[in-house]
Every structure is written in structure tokens, then in C-alpha cells.
Structure 1
Amino acid sequence: MVNTDGTGEASGSDIQAVARVGQICSLFGPNTIELTAADVAERLHLNRTTAYRYCASLVAAGILERGPRRGTFVLGGLMLQLGIHALSRRQVVEIAPRHLTELGAAVRMTAVLSLWGARGPVVALVEEDTSRTAVVTVRAGSQLDATAAQTRVFLGHLADERAIEGLTEGASSAQRAELEAAVYTARRAGYCIASQSGGVFSVAAPVFDELGIAATVGLLGADPHADLSPGSPIVTQLLKTTRALSDELRNTREARQNETSDV
């Protein structure tokens, strides 16, 4: 039962508990499929008893489940159910696969669709380029950091100015200035190019619906001779794809709204 202060509002302790649940859930990802209470305690600066009580309560609620190894916890069935429901409401995920396949084949690069999650972009779809000997790819479900081209494109178009604050927490003034400059350039140019470790690069552009930015499409490559200049085949094909995807997304929603109004 939620505690209130007599005004019908949730108490500060309840709000803190909800925030803590969100923090625990956000610790999981493609490379972190299970955690112990000790792991949670260390990463969130809690004592182990408190961390265990949270995890046990989340198991009772279906948010977490007991992991295969003793003392571990994994995301539970409720999270799977909610995740599937959330993705099903994103129409861009339904219509994007064909566009990604065509884009990847045209430029011989891995094409990626990302959505804005709780703490930044999350990879939703990946169309790998298998025409080359070495495949540059990323896992679906991966959280992208501030260095990713898709992150910078999102930041250039999101209305929430606090987003950049969250992604630059703990960063130096020089790192923050570099990110702000890249975000400004991405907004002005309509796309962003970012270099990653190991010679990998990414180029990304936004997908819009009637409410604003709905997703980003990125290309991953490792060819040091790739032409990424304005008007190059790679950039041109990427922008053509995001425009087509934006148009189809808007038209699909408009058609569905018209169907609903006719009922």
C-alpha cells in the first residue's frame, strides 16, 4: 500500500522507492543479464541487506526472477510483457525492417534502428551486413553512450534539455563542450558522423513523426576509405531512407486516425 501524507499525495519515501526500482532495473542490459544483491548494492551504493530486500520484493512483484545461479536475479516476466507491449506501440519498429534491409544492401553496411529509452538511445533493430568478411554490428537492446552518432542525433532534436545533462554527468568540461558541438552540428547538418574505437565509425540521421523525433537510423562500418562527405552515396542513401521512413510513419498514423474517426 502506498503511504500518503494525508493530502492524497505519495510520501517522499514512496517516491524514493519507485526511483530505486527504476535504478535497479536499469542495471540490466545485453551484457548484464543477471545480478546479485551484492552487485546491486555496490553499483547503487546501498548496503547489502537493503539491496536484497529490494530484489526480493521485485521478485514477488514479477519484475525480477531468481536467476539460474544461486543468489542471482534476472529480469522477470512482467518486464518481458511490458517490453513487448511498449515495442508494439512503436509503429516505427513495425515498418522499419524493410527500409533497413534495403539501406544495408545499398551501402553494404550494418543498419541500426534505435529508440530513446530511459537513459538514452536503445538499439531496437539490427540489419547486419554479411556481404563482407568482417561484420560490424551491435546487439539489439544495447544502450548507446554519448559518443554514438545516434545519441548525438537524438540530443539535437529532443525537446527535453535535461537529456544532455544526464549523459554528461561526471564528464569533464572539455568532453561536454565536444558533445555540445557535435549535437549542434548534427542538428544543423541533419545527420551525424562519429568515430569509435578500433577504426569503427557510425553515421546516423533522425526519423520523425508528427510529434517530433521518433527514432534514429545508423550505419556501422570500418572501411577507412569510406566516403562520408556531404552528398556522398552513403550519406545520400541514409537520408533517403530516413525521409522515406518518416513519411511512411506519418502516413500510417494518419490513416489509422482516419479509420478510427470513421468508426
Structure 2
Amino acid sequence: MVEQGQSDIQAVSRMAQILGLFGPDNPELSVSEATERLSLNRTTVHRYLTSMTAAGLLERGSRAASYTPGRLMIQLGAFAIGQRRVVQLAPAHLRDLTQRTAVSAVLSLWGPSGPVVSLVEEDSAHGTIVTVRVGSQLSLDSAQAIAFLAFLPDQLQVDRLLASLPSVQRTGLVGRIATTRETGLSIYPANRRGISVIAAPVFADSGVCATIAAIGTDRMLPSAPDGRPALAVKETAAALTKEMGGTWPDSESAPSS
């Protein structure tokens, strides 16, 4: 008798095998073709294909009883490619931002429940360095989280995340999100330790894909939204957005070129 856990693992493995059949030379597969290549029972293959279609992993193809990758797979693929590409392109932009602001520059990607620090460029030209560890999970009230929450395409996910917070904190974050949508900047003025953060979103053609931030002490990093550091952050995010083939969502918050 197969235990439930083993059955679940087998189901995941078989779905991965089915998805692995698709490629540039095989954009569409019929039930018969999948059955032959997987060496499985036709009824079993058909059941998997039907379930995967219902879940959005596959879609009906142009031929009878055929399937193609679904919108969910295309969305996830574009997201994964965008993440990899933005990490490859970002270092030069982070170095430029560090030179312009004389503080550390950070790139974060969206993780399961918030931003995760992925790249850090420290300002080695000065004795005092404020930095953050790569791999750090940032809280939902961080400047970079707000920059993401303001532009994530799945606003239901945003609502679910905010619903987990105390009402007073949630109200404050909603206001910060609205401001970020208007200005294109998420600013965290100096906290109790005197650390300021200025963040801005980076867009690919599929939507927001990362955030860029400058981090330093309040003396090193004035947080005025119309100040030079804020302008540098926004222009850096815009330059990386352009290189990623993305566009800012509206003209009001978009930096002038």
C-alpha cells in the first residue's frame, strides 16, 4: 500500500516529467505522445493532463486531445527569467548608485512572503559602512517591502499579507503604499538606530521584479523625497528598468528621462 506522502511525491514527480516534455521542438503534446514518451498508462496520463489543465499548468492545444504550457507556467517562467536577468544586470547599477550616494546599495527580490536581499554593494571609500546581509528576509514594513507591495500584480496576496498585521500597523502601511504608488519612492526615515533607507521598484515586461535601495545613517543619507539621494535611487531603478525592458506604471511616478 502506498502511503499518502509517497503518493504526493510521485504525483509531483510525474507532473515534472510531463512539463519536461515541452520545449522549443515540442511546444504541443497529445495524450498519445505523452503516453508513449512517459511509458505510462494512457488513462493515468490523461488524468494528469486534465488535472494540470484545471490548475492552469497546461492549456488545450490546437490539435484534438493536445496540450501546451498554461498561463501559470508562462508567468512563472517569465518571473524566473526576470529574476535571473536582473541579478546579472544589477551590479553595475548598484556600483553607480553607491558612487552617487556614498552609501551601500541593495537589490532585493520578492520571496515567499517578502523581499529577500540578493545583492549588496558597500561603499568602501568611507570608514563608516551601513550594510545588510545577502539572504536577509526583510519585514513587511521595510522600505523595500513597501516598494514591492505598491506594485505587485496580485493585490489579493498583498491584502492577505497586510491582514496578518495589527490594524494600526496595517493602516500605516496602506498609507505608505499609496504614497509609493504616487511618487515611485519608498522612504524609511531614520529609525531608532539612525538608519535611513530609500527604495524604488524595478520593472520588467512582466511587472515589478526587484527593488533597489540606498541604506545609510541619517547624516549620510538625507531622506527628503526631492533630495539628491532620493533622485539617484529613482534614476538608478529607472535605468535598470529600461535595461530589463520594463516600464513604470504611470507617468506621475516615472522618472523623467
TM-score range, shorter-chain basis? 0.5 to 0.7
Preserved contact between residue 147 and residue 200 of structure 2 (Cα < 8 Å):
yes
Report the CA distance between 1:188 and its aligned residue.
0.9
Which runs of structure 2 are paired with 1:131-150 in the superposition (5 Å)?
A: 131-150=125-144
Partner SS for 1:250: coil
Comparing 160-169 with 186-195, which one deviates more in the overlay?
160-169
Runs of 4+ in structure 1 deviating by more than 6 angstroms, as ranges, are: none
Which of structures 1 and 2 has the larger relative contact order (alpha carbons within 8 angstroms, sep 6+)? 2
Name the counterpart of 2:205.
Answer: 210
Report the CA distance between 1:164 and its aligned residue.
3.0
Which runs of structure 2 are paired with 1:71-82 in the superposition (5 Å)?
A: none
Preserved contact between residue 83 and residue 109 of structure 2 (Cα < 8 Å):
no
User: Which of the residues 228, 233, 239 maps onto 1:233?
Assistant: 228
Quick one: structure 1 residues 88 and 227, their matched pair in 2 at CA, closer, same or farther if it must change by over 3 Å?
A: closer
Quick one: structure 1 residues 135 and 225, their matched pair in 2 at CA, closer, same or farther if it must change by over 3 Å?
A: closer
Report the CA distance between 1:109 and its aligned residue.
0.9
Preserved contact between residue 104 and residue 215 of structure 2 (Cα < 8 Å):
yes
Which runs of structure 2 are paired with 1:1-263 in the superposition (5 Å)?
A: 3=4, 14=8, 90-168=84-162, 170-195=164-189, 196-224=191-219, 226-250=221-245
Name the counterpart of 2:44.
Answer: none
Quick one: structure 1 residues 225 and 117, their matched pair in 2 at CA, closer, same or farther if it must change by over 3 Å?
A: closer
Question: Residue 215 of structure 2 aligns to which amino acid in structure 1?
Answer: L
Preserved contact between residue 205 and residue 245 of structure 2 (Cα < 8 Å):
yes
Partner SS for 2:138: coil
Q: Which runs of 5+ in 2 are unaligned?
A: 13-79, 247-257
Report the CA distance between 1:138 and its aligned residue.
0.4
- Partners in 2 of 1:215 and 1:89 — Cα distance? 8
Preserved contact between residue 82 and residue 204 of structure 2 (Cα < 8 Å):
no
Greater gyration radius: 2
Quick one: structure 1 residues 157 and 233, their matched pair in 2 at CA, closer, same or farther if it must change by over 3 Å?
A: same
Quick one: structure 1 residues 225 and 130, their matched pair in 2 at CA, closer, same or farther if it must change by over 3 Å?
A: closer
Quick one: structure 1 residues 2 and 109, their matched pair in 2 at CA, closer, same or farther if it must change by over 3 Å?
A: farther
Report the CA distance between 1:235 and its aligned residue.
1.2
Quick one: structure 1 residues 234 and 88, their matched pair in 2 at CA, closer, same or farther if it must change by over 3 Å?
A: closer
Quick one: structure 1 residues 213 and 89, their matched pair in 2 at CA, closer, same or farther if it must change by over 3 Å?
A: closer
Partner SS for 2:244: helix
- Partners in 2 of 1:226 and 1:213 — Cα distance? 25
Preserved contact between residue 82 and residue 209 of structure 2 (Cα < 8 Å):
no
Q: Which runs of 5+ in 1 are unaligned?
A: 5-9, 19-85, 252-263
Partner SS for 2:193: helix
Question: Residue 173 of structure 1 aligns to which amino acid in structure 2?
Answer: S
Report the CA distance between 1:3 and its aligned residue.
4.7
Quick one: structure 1 residues 128 and 172, their matched pair in 2 at CA, closer, same or farther if it must change by over 3 Å?
A: same
Partner SS for 1:187: helix
Name the counterpart of 1:53.
Answer: none
Per-residue CA shift, 1:44-71, capped at 9, x if unaligned? xxxxxxxxxxxxxxxxxxxxxxxxxxxx
Report the CA distance between 1:159 and its aligned residue.
1.4
Superposition CA RMSD, Å? 2.8
Question: Residue 237 of structure 1 aligns to which amino acid in structure 2?
Answer: A
